[in-house]
Amino acid sequence: MTAGNGHSRREVIVISAISFVCVGALAAARPLFSSLGPNGASPFPFVELDVSHVAPRAFKPVSVSGKPLLVRRWSAQSPWVVTSAACSRCGCALKVYEIPAEPTAPTLLCPCCASSYDFAGKRIGQSTLPDLEAVPYKMLSREILRIG
């Protein structure tokens, strides 16, 4: 017995089964191959930043992959401090403000919830909430800082 185009019934069933298996294998392989690519939820990539013009006790706001960061250092001899510039309570971008009585102590303030952080990113006041998230960095030279 033959099908309409000259193939036997068995050949049509075998071809259909092989086609079904191939489509299923391709459908199963797609998530595997997409998982081999870069992860969108992974941390931001490395970014090199020239910090030669950042004065001691000054903030340098940086945006890396849409995430606000703050780069700063205590003095000319001290290491750099790199933290998130988003409030740990509500996630708003922090603003830098100077305390008039202490002009050498810049502070970070959240405009939404009024949370405040000191120069090192430590929370001022309500100590039960977390400090600013530290961001890994590496000094490539005296002027170049690699964030990430």
2 contacts: CB under 8 Å, gap ≥ 6? 8, 9
CB atoms within 10 A of CB 41: 5
User: Measured between alpha carbons, how far is 78 from 80 in angstroms, rounded to an integer?
Assistant: 7
Structure confidence at residue 17 (pLDDT): 95
User: Of 116, 95, 96, 115, nearest to 106 (Cα)?
Assistant: 96
What is this structure's pTM? Answer: 0.62
Highest mean pLDDT pick, 13-17, 31-35, 69-73, 117-121: 13-17
Q: How far is CA 136 from the centre of its chain?
A: 11
Q: What is the pLDDT of residues 74-132, one digit of tens each?
A: 888 888 889 999 988 888 888 887 766 665 667 888 888 888 888 888 888 766 778 89
Strands 116-117 and 47-50: unpaired
CB contact at 8 A, 148 and 64: yes
User: Measured between alpha carbons, how far is 128 from 91 in angstroms, rounded to an integer?
Assistant: 16
Q: pLDDT-based confidence at 40, cuts 50/70/90? A: low
